[in-house]
Amino acid sequence: MKNVLITGASRGIGAQCARSFAKNGYNVWINYFKSEYKAKNLYSEISSDYPFVHLVKADVSDPVQVREMFDSIGEIDILINNAGISQTKLFTDITDEDWNRMISTNLSSAFYCCRAALPHMINNKWGRIINISSMWGQVGGSCEVHYSAAKAGIIGLTKALAMEEGLSGITVNCIAPGVIMTDMNSHLSDDDIIALKNDTPTGTIGTPDDIAQAALFLANENASFITGQVLGVNGGFVV
């Protein structure tokens, strides 16, 4: 049974990944930091049907807490770097605190977790790292410069690490979601949703399960020849 760690898994995309991986026979570790109530509810929901699920609290933007988390978990075979925040703000209004928080939460966290997970993967000559970026990391989003920069960094990290770890049997890939109906987009009005649907070739808004299914595919043994790739799951919004 493969061990999966999903960061920022208390809600949204991370929570759906936890459900899907548990359902498909993986041993799942649900990482959370602030959303303890939601994490515990998710744990209760999943563990009622699938016993191989665990909770682990850690701020993954803190390298010390990441190391302690991995020490407590042990070996991880599949790492899904999902933890992230968003913020809409004019570039000229972004503060040093805004910038540092965005980069540490959305980019540095993936670096810290990859660094902690890799020794075991290298030793085993097998591993899967799946990083969650965004379509705005591919093309840039107005009033989201710091968010776009962090998510673009995730893409660069993915491509470079894939080149370095291929001979160790480790694949490193990236999923770039489009507009997904999660708490992160709960601020959107009905008119915003209609406009986004109209701008999307499929005429729909994505769901967390769309991303979870992509992650399941990349984690599968059958995806062993796919690495360093950015999989856009966006309904054709960005091509």
- Residue positions annotated with a catalytic role: 147
CA-CA-CA-CA torsion for 211, 214, 216, 221, nearest 10 degrees? Answer: -160
Tally the C-alpha atoms within 13 A of residue 7's C-alpha that lie toward its C-beta.
32
Could you tell me the strand order of the sheet in which 170-177 lies? 53-57, 27-32, 3-6, 78-81, 127-132, 170-177, 230-233
Q: What is the DSSP string of 62-98?
A: SHHHHHHHHHHH---SEEEE---------GGG--HHH
**Cβ contacts of residue 12 below 8 Å, gap of 6+?**
180, 182, 183, 184, 208
Quote the radius of gyration of the chain (alpha carbons, Å).
Answer: 17
Please list the residues that pair with 32 across neighbouring strands: 57
Q: Do you know the residue count of the chain?
A: 239
